[in-house]
Structure formats: C-alpha cells, structure tokens
Amino acid sequence: MTIEDIGLVGINVRMWRHLAVLYPTPGSSWRKFAFVLPVTAMNLMQFVYLLRMWGDLPAFILNMFFFSAIFNALMRTWLVIIKRRQFEEFLGQLATLFHSILDSTDEWGRGILRRAEREARNLAILNLSASFLDIVGALVSPLFREERAHPFGVALPGVSMTSSPVYEVIYLAQLPTPLLLSMMYMPFVSLFAGLAIFGKAMLQILVHRLGQIGGEEQSEEERFQRLASCIAYHTQVMRYVWQLNKLVANIVAVEAIIFGSIICSLLFCLNIITSPTQVISIVMYILTMLYVLFTYYNRANEICLENNRVAEAVYNVPWYEAGTRFRKTLLIFLMQTQHPMEIRVGNVYPMTLAMFQSLLNASYSYFTMLRGVTGK
C-alpha cells in the first residue's frame, strides 16, 4: 500500500503527485511550473488591476478578495514545493504509523482508523466540490452584469482589457480557473484536516489501550509492559504533532491575518453595496472564508481535546493494584501528558475554537471601527 492508497491523504497526494508538486520525477518536474506559473502571472495582473480600481471602493474590495484568495493558494502551493522533502518525509512517517496500526491485532484501533479514513476522504471530496462550484459561480457572474468585466479582474499597462478581441481572449484564458484553483487551494486544507484527523485517531487508540491496563487476570509484568508500550506510543504521537506543527505553523499564521482582513473588508463592502448579485456573492465569499478557517481550527482543536482525554485515561489507570515500579512510571507518564499537544499559529497561539472566536471578534471589531471612521 502506497501513500496514495491511504484514505486520510490519498486524494490530495494523488493530485499533487500528478502535478509534480510532491514526488516529482525527472520527466514530470515541468508540470509544477506549468501549473503554478500561469496562476502567478494572473495574480500579478490582478495586482495591476487593483491599482486601477483604487477610487472605486466596492470594486476594489471585491477584487482584493480575489487577489488575496489566489495569492493565498499560490503561497500554499509554493510552500509545499519549497518544503517538498519535509512534506514527503512527514507523509512517510504517517504511512509508517498508519501501517503499524493496520497490521496490529487491535481490531478496535483498526476500526478507528477506517472511520478516520472515511471522514478525511469525504471531507476532501466535499472541499474540492464546494471550491469548484464556488469558482464556477464567480466565473459566470460577469455574464449578468451590464458592463464588460472578467471573472477575475486583470489588467496590463497600456492594454484595454474590455476591447475585442482582448476581452474574449482573457475570458477564455480564465475558463480553466475552477479546476486549476480548486486543485491549488483546497488540497492543502484537506491535507491539514486529514493529518489532524489521524492525530486525533492515534490519541483515541491510546486512550483505549490505557483503558485495557488493569484487572486481576494481568500480571505485574504484563501491566508494566502495556504501560511501557503506551508511553512509547504517546511519544510517537507527540513527535507526529510536533512535526505537523513545524510544517504548518507559519502558513496558518499568515492565513489568519489574510482571512481576518478579508472578512473585515467583505463585511464593510456588504455595508455599502446595493446590487443583489454582489450581495449574494459577498455572502458566499464570507461563508467560504469562515468554512476554511473553521476546518483548520476545529480539526486542530480536536487534537487538544483528545490529548486531555489521554491525561484522564492515565489518571484512571488502577495504579493502586500495581507495584512501586509501575506507580512511579505511571506518575512520570501522567506528568508528561500534562504538556499541551497542539498546533500553534506562528508557534505562538494554539489553534483552538477559542482562538477561532477571537479571530472573528477581531475582524468584526475592525469592521465596526472602519464603518465608524468612514460613516458608512
């Protein structure tokens, strides 16, 4: 079984392998540049367009959203390309841990693993489908406007983008964007969620194994061996979460700033526009940002919650039935489980639902301040 056959990350890794973002070969390395460079060029053209729209605030904010979203997608993809070896090594570690559970005699653990695979696979399919439909909506929306406009506003110095045949050529060039941007934007979100789901599953398995320690039928040595096995497994899970945090801490910090700013700007834009079509579009964009943020923080929060259950499970081990060596070892293990196992935004703030709420509160506070300053 290869990494692509593991349902936790298979869909995302398969796309990235096909595009040579991960596991490139000498014959396929060109694909990542053919995939990323056209979108990078479009993003630069969006920036030029933003400079032209400076005086029209609603149009500027809407196009700033598109520019930021595509810039964020490019940032994610370039991050994976630049840190390719680290991602591939981490996925190799995941495969090793996955197979150690799958090949074990723990039927309960294998059941947890199968449920985690289904959850991650369904989430990846949902994310790709929703992203594709969202971008298709943006692609067809200019057809309902009175004036000529591209789905993603772009400009070149000295070129009239609304004159024929330039307008038609640019529009046709943007037709593949639902597929391209979906494959660029959502795999990172789904991969993060799948990796966090696996971390949660491993902690659930650890809680179950700790619950199996004790009972009159177990000898002192058997209890100690079970405990030692749980400690070694907990160390593996800690290393896994630490390495996941090392890979994503900086990118989620940048995205927290980008998403918070986008939500604030879109709320302000919603307050000043009157077009029903634009209102519907902006509400859809805000919900998209909230969904992506919630996916990040909810999955990371689940690791924190499950780690707390590990500490409770260690505390509930019947230590009073065991000898001194077992009790001392269990006490040290209990102290170890008190250390937080979490993913941190920029290695500073833990990714929890409380942090998610704080981010939304900050976005809304800046929106109310902006509305008060402008009097809109």
Q: Is 342 left (phi over 0), alpha (psi -120 to 50) or beta?
A: beta
Residue 374 has a pLDDT of: 66
Query: Residue 219 class from Cβ within 10 Å (0-12 exposed, 13-18 middle, 19+ buried)?
Result: exposed
Where helices occur in the chain by DSSP H, the ranges are 10-18, 30-52, 57-82, 84-102, 107-140, 166-174, 177-211, 220-272, 276-315, 324-337, 353-374
Collect all residues with Cβ–Cβ distance below 8 Å to 93 and sequence separation of at least 6: 240, 243
What is the spatial distance between Cα 346 and Cα 342, in angstroms, rounded to a whole number?
Answer: 12
Please give the pLDDT value at position 329.
92
Q: How far apart are CA 228 and CA 235, in angstroms?
A: 11
Q: What is the pLDDT of residue 321?
A: 83
Nearest to 233 by CA among 118, 117, 314: 314
Closest CA to 61 of 257, 264, 258, 265: 265
Distances (CA, A) of 77 to 23, 37, 157: 14, 11, 28
The position carrying tokens 């057809």 is: 143
Q: Tokens 């402008």 — which residue?
A: 374
Task: Give the DSSP per-residue string, 220-244.
Answer: HHHHHHHHHHHHHHHHHHHHHHHHH
Q: Which two tokens stand for residue 282?
A: 């902006």
The residue type of 285 is: Y
Contact 135, 181 (CB under 8 A): yes
Q: 220-272 and 177-211 helices cross at what angle (nearest 10)?
A: 150
Q: Residue 227's CB: how many other CB atoms inside 10 A? A: 22
Q: Give the pLDDT confidence score for residue 159 in this predicted structure.
A: 85
Q: Which of 66, 77, 84, 82 is nearest to 24 (CA)?
A: 84
CB 119 within 8 A of CB 197: yes
Q: Which residues pair with 350 in a beta bridge?
A: 344
Coil, helix or strand at residue 146: coil
Spell out the per-residue pLDDT of the chain, length 376, in tens: 688 888 899 999 999 999 999 999 888 889 998 889 989 999 999 999 888 877 777 778 888 888 888 898 899 899 899 999 999 999 999 999 999 888 888 889 899 999 999 999 999 999 988 888 888 887 887 777 777 888 888 888 888 888 888 888 888 888 888 888 888 888 899 999 999 999 999 999 999 999 888 877 888 888 899 999 999 999 999 999 999 999 998 898 888 888 888 888 888 888 777 777 778 878 888 888 888 889 999 999 999 999 999 999 999 988 888 889 999 999 999 999 888 888 998 888 899 999 999 988 888 888 888 777 766 5
User: How big is the chain, counted in residues?
Assistant: 376
